[in-house]
Amino acid sequence: MPQNTSSQEVYDAVVVGSGAGGGTAVHVLTAKGLKVALLEAGPMLDVATEFKEHKVPADYDHRGAEEGGKAYFGQGKPFGFFSTTSGGWQLEGEPYTVGEGSQFQWFRSRILGGRTNHYGRMSFRFAEYDFKPYDKDGLGFNWPVSYQDISPYYDKAEEFIGIAGTRENVPSCPDGQFLPAPPPKVHEMLVKKACDKLGIICIANRRAVITKNLNGRAACHYCGQCGRGCQTASAYSSSQVQVFPAMKTGRLKVFDLAMAREVLTDNNGKATGILYVDKKTRTEKIIKAKVVVLAASACESTRILLNSKTKEFPNGLANGSGLLGRYLMDTVGFGLSGTVPALEGMPHYNTDGYGGAHLFMPWWLWDKHNKLDFPRGYHIEIGGGYGMPNVGGYHGAARRWGYGANMKAKIRESYGTSIGFAGRGEMIPNIHSYCELDPNVVDKWGIPVLKFHFKWTDYEWKQARHMEKTFAEIITAMGGKVSGLSAAQRESQGISIPGTIIHEVGGARMGKSAKDSILNGYCQAHEMKNLFVVDGASFASNPDKNPTLTINALAWRACDYLAEEMKKGNV
């Protein structure tokens, strides 16, 4: 054990990570009267300076191309200058490696609130069948919990966070507690009509944006820039909606720029706290707590556990099963766009709305798998409208139309006439997709880093081809023209690069016993009762529902349970 400056205080719980899981944990635990320490590997969030949702490019001399035109050299911020991402695919001094023959990209945010500051806020419940996928088709693994177990926590999360949507009674995407949904935009109405014709379900989107005032947060003001952060917290972020209010209880202490290295344990099989690197002083420090709650993101929590080696657990904490890091999953992504003549010359209007598409298509073929050549399903997200002109937005058009009066007129005519579809589908967990510690590389804090291995299988490729065919059918039914892929493009861009949908989950999956999983249904380590993992690491499967809402619900349930068990003296 290295020399540590140890704080004397013993917290009831130490939470590592402040995203959807950690934010929910500190909210629930402080509300129950517990004294909580929260570690965040990035700095505190200053909403007033970080969030740029009401800026336009002309407010900056660089127009969004960033100082020195970094964006022209692929060195700008991921998702653009205005987005509130505080991290990226690569972090200076904090590398990860990828095994030979694999592709994987890992997006990390280092700031209070993590990726919830900028995520898409699509909020879909898992369906009943999503918890028992193995029972459905013999592939993958069942969860140790059922929809009925989680449903009350979906309710709690939805009521607290605020989700706009409509009740539709679609079995693949159960209804929740919804605030009113905004009306469909014009291009979306055309999509809906095309879907009606094709037998595809198209309903109001469900996003974590409040359309009515809620818990002291103001209703959405429809500036349409949720990805740039929301100064009024009308769009959910764990930082504004959960962590800041929890700080006001006086029971939460936030340690920012605190990079967790390992979980500390005693000789009685209990976790005793967290050993972390204080980035401000580059020294190792300890936080002592009765319960350790990891919520550092699926892969980062897995990494902390892999790095927490003890005599009893030489391959990582609570890893008697040897499954730590295994069955890593991302979402299957594929996109296709087209142009729609019916939209040409339309009187322009403000298409911002509540910051994303107002309609979406849940999986509609859940009972038609005998007619499909792939298992599971996907939902479809819609893009279109008169978006804010940005740097980079017209390079392709300029190349196509040359220059001069003609180019200018063509760009004007085509503005807002394109439509885009993105499929978000379920992958089957496979043995080729996992992360482990790289034995040869440490980050600049001296912590061993992750090495990723990942493979899509035929299940995912076939699903992506079904997406392509479906999107083309929708575009055609709208009277539009598909901007199709060439054979070469299909080979290179026919499916998303693993990790790039940023839905990576699994690694410390939940299951029935310590033999086949790391965690139980309460996100509690089978082999260490006062250790919980409340981020996406616990996922036994990765349904076509964006993971954040389920992380919120599972974390809420885990923390309710944790607090009860603590009262009973069981943890």
* Identity of the residue, 50 or 544, whose beta carbon is nearer to other proteins in the bound complex: 50
Residue selected from 5, 6, 33, 68 as contacting other proteins according to rule CB under 8 A? 68
Round to whole Å and give the CA distance between 498 and 456: 8
Residue selected from 248, 250, 268, 405 as contacting other proteins according to rule CB under 8 A? 405
Asked if 392 is part of the footprint of other proteins (rule: CB under 8 A), the reply reads: yes
Interface mask (CB under 8 A) for other proteins, residues 504-543, using x and -? ----------------------------------------
**What is the layout of strands, in order, in the sheet containing 434-442?**
97-98, 448-453, 434-442
Residue selected from 97, 102, 142, 390 as contacting other proteins according to rule CB under 8 A? 390
Say if residues 114 and 297 touch (Cβ distance below 8 Å): yes
* Identity of the residue, 221 or 279, whose beta carbon is nearer to other proteins in the bound complex: 221
Residue count, binding to other proteins (CB under 8 A):
86
CB of 113 to other proteins, least distance (A): 17
Residue selected from 393, 420, 448, 494 as contacting other proteins according to rule CB under 8 A? 393
**Token pair of 300 as six digits:** 């980062």
CB of 486 to other proteins, least distance (A): 6
Comparing C-alpha atoms, which of 205, 204, 210, 123 is closest to residue 162? 210
DSSP string for 200-243? ---EE--BSB-SS-BTTBPPP-----GGG--TT--B--HIIIII
* Identity of the residue, 337 or 351, whose beta carbon is nearer to other proteins in the bound complex: 351
Which segment (263-271, 275-283, 330-338, 471-479) binds other proteins by CB under 8 A? 471-479
Round to whole Å and give the CA distance between 559 and 522: 8
One-letter amino acid for residue 261 of the chain: R
Say if residues 249 and 26 touch (Cβ distance below 8 Å): no
Residue selected from 280, 368, 408, 432 as contacting other proteins according to rule CB under 8 A? 408
Question: In what helix (H) or strand (E) does residue 21 lie, and over which residues does it extend?
Answer: helix 20-31
Residue selected from 282, 348, 469, 515 as contacting other proteins according to rule CB under 8 A? 348
User: Which residues are within 8 A (CB) of 49 and not within 5 positions of it... i.e. 6 or more apart?
Assistant: none
Footprint of other proteins on 223-282 (CB under 8 A) = 223-225, 231-233
Interface mask (CB under 8 A) for other proteins, residues 191-220, using x and -? --xx------------------x--xxxxx
* Identity of the residue, 43 or 57, whose beta carbon is nearer to other proteins in the bound complex: 57
Question: In what helix (H) or strand (E) does residue 37 lie, and over which residues does it extend?
Answer: strand 36-39
Footprint of other proteins on 131-190 (CB under 8 A) = 182-187, 189-190
DSSP string for 340-406? -GGGTTPPP----TTSS-SEEE----TT-GGG-SSSS-EEEEEEES-PPP-TTTTHHHHHHH-SHHH
* Identity of the residue, 62 or 309, whose beta carbon is nearer to other proteins in the bound complex: 62
Asked if 349 is part of the footprint of other proteins (rule: CB under 8 A), the reply reads: yes
Footprint of other proteins on 352-381 (CB under 8 A) = 352-354
Round to whole Å and give the CA distance between 108 and 86: 8
Asked if 442 is part of the footprint of other proteins (rule: CB under 8 A), the reply reads: no
Round to whole Å and give the CA distance between 78 and 55: 18
CB of 239 to other proteins, least distance (A): 15
Asked if 65 is part of the footprint of other proteins (rule: CB under 8 A), the reply reads: yes
* Identity of the residue, 409 or 441, whose beta carbon is nearer to other proteins in the bound complex: 409
CB of 253 to other proteins, least distance (A): 25
Say if residues 316 and 500 touch (Cβ distance below 8 Å): no
The residues that bridge with 179 in the sheet, in sequence order, are 164
Round to whole Å and give the CA distance between 422 and 382: 7
Cβ-based neighbour number of residue 214 at 10 Å: 17
CA angle (199 as vertex; 193, 202 as ends), nearest 5: 55
Which segment (388-396, 446-454, 501-509, 541-549) binds other proteins by CB under 8 A? 388-396
CB of 368 to other proteins, least distance (A): 25
Asked if 317 is part of the footprint of other proteins (rule: CB under 8 A), the reply reads: no
Asked if 485 is part of the footprint of other proteins (rule: CB under 8 A), the reply reads: no
Asked if 553 is part of the footprint of other proteins (rule: CB under 8 A), the reply reads: no
**Token pair of 486 as six digits:** 């060439």
* Identity of the residue, 250 or 404, whose beta carbon is nearer to other proteins in the bound complex: 404
Round to whole Å and give the CA distance between 388 and 348: 13
Round to whole Å and give the CA distance between 109 and 2: 28
Asked if 482 is part of the footprint of other proteins (rule: CB under 8 A), the reply reads: no
Footprint of other proteins on 328-347 (CB under 8 A) = 341-347
Round to whole Å and give the CA distance between 329 and 411: 40
Say if residues 295 and 16 touch (Cβ distance below 8 Å): yes
Asked if 450 is part of the footprint of other proteins (rule: CB under 8 A), the reply reads: no
* Identity of the residue, 282 or 348, whose beta carbon is nearer to other proteins in the bound complex: 348
* Identity of the residue, 4 or 406, whose beta carbon is nearer to other proteins in the bound complex: 406
Residue 470: half-sphere exposure toward Cβ, Cα within 13 Å: 29
